[in-house]
Amino acid sequence: MKIRLWGTRGSLASSGPETAGYGGNTAAVEIVSADGTILVLDAGTGIRRLGAAIDPSVERLDILLTHLHMDHIQGLGFFAPFFRPSGEIHIWGPASATMELRTRLTRYLSPPLFPVRIRDLDARVVLHDAPEEPVSIGGFEVVAQHVIHPGPTVGYRISADGASVAYLPDHEPALGARRFPEEPRWTSGFDLASGVDLLIHDGQYSDDERATRIGWGHSSVSEAVAFAELTRVRRLILFHHDPSHSDAVLDALTEVARAGGTSIEVVAGREGAQYDLGTGVHA
C-alpha cells in the first residue's frame, strides 16, 4: 500500500513562502494498493495536482469524503478525471438524516458557487453513503464510522496488502471525554484507529490554541499523540495544519508532540511525502 499526501492543510488553503515546506493545499491523500486500485481521501485543493498525475487510462477511481466542509471538497471541480468520458468515479460520503449525498454536494457543485453541475461532468459519477460495514473496493477493505466533528463526519479505516491506515483528518475526541484520553469504548474513533500501521490524524492546534477553540472540531498535537498512544498505532502523521501555522511553527509543534517521550513515530504531514507501509518512508 503506497500513500502520498497531496494536501495536508486544514480549514483554508494557505500558499506562501512561509508554508512552502509543508504545503498550503487542503486535504487530499492518495492510496494505491498492490493491485493498482486507487483511493483518494478527501477532495481539498490538493486533489487538483493529484488528478493531473493520474494516468488517463485508469478507468475507476474512488473518492472517500470524510465530510462536506469546503476544505475537503473544494478541489472536486478541478479534478481532471471528472472530465474524461471513459472514467468512472465513485464518491463516498457521510449520510445525512435529511439529504442525499448528491443533494448536499450539489450545493457546491452548481451555480452560483461553481459553473459545472455533477450531471454535466464527463465521467460517470456514482455516489454512495460511507460504508459503516466493511466493503471491498478493488484490493482494499474500507470501513467508515462517525467521529466527533461538527456536522455529519466520518473517519476511515483502510486495509490492503497486510497493512492498515486510519484517516481522521478532522476529529475532536477530547470533546466527548471527561478526562482525555480515557477508556476506549468512550473514545470517538477508537475502533477505526486501533492498532493501525499508520494514523493520519487532526493535529491542528497547540495546546494553548485548543483551549480557546473547544468544540471547533479539532485536536491539539498533544491530543493527537494521546489518541495515537491509546489506539496503539505504529506511526502518526499530524494533519490538517492550521492555515496560520508557518513551517517553523509546524516544526516546533512536532517537537512538542515528541517531547512527551512517545514511542510512536510522529511526523507532520508534508505535501508530497510518500509512504510505503511495507518498507517505510521512501521519499
Positions touching another protein (CB under 8 A) are 94-97, 129, 132, 145-148, 152, 175-178, 184-191
Helix (H) or strand (E) holding 247: helix 247-259
* Terminal-residue alpha carbon distance, the chain: 14
Identity of the residue, 46 or 94, whose beta carbon is nearer to another protein in the bound complex: 94
Report in angstroms how near the CB of residue 266 gets to another protein at its nearest: 23
Identity of the residue, 183 or 251, whose beta carbon is nearer to another protein in the bound complex: 183
Report in angstroms how near the CB of residue 209 gets to another protein at its nearest: 21
Identity of the residue, 116 or 127, whose beta carbon is nearer to another protein in the bound complex: 127
Give the separation between CA 25 and CA 6, rounded to whole angstroms: 7
Identity of the residue, 185 or 208, whose beta carbon is nearer to another protein in the bound complex: 185
Report in angstroms how near the CB of residue 65 gets to another protein at its nearest: 15
Report in angstroms how near the CB of residue 273 gets to another protein at its nearest: 29
Cell 439529504, residue located: 99
Residues ≥6 apart with Cβ < 8 Å to 107: 113
Give the separation between CA 253 and CA 271, rounded to whole angstroms: 17
Cell of 12: 483554508
Report in angstroms how near the CB of residue 240 gets to another protein at its nearest: 18
Number of Cα atoms under 13 Å in the Cβ half of residue 273: 18
Give the separation between CA 140 and CA 218, rounded to whole angstroms: 28
Report in angstroms how near the CB of residue 217 gets to another protein at its nearest: 12
Identity of the residue, 25 or 159, whose beta carbon is nearer to another protein in the bound complex: 159
Sheet strands (E) in the chain = 2-7, 28-32, 38-41, 60-64, 88-93, 124-129, 135-137, 140-146, 154-160, 163-168, 198-202, 235-239, 265-268, 274-276, 280-281
Identity of the residue, 114 or 180, whose beta carbon is nearer to another protein in the bound complex: 180
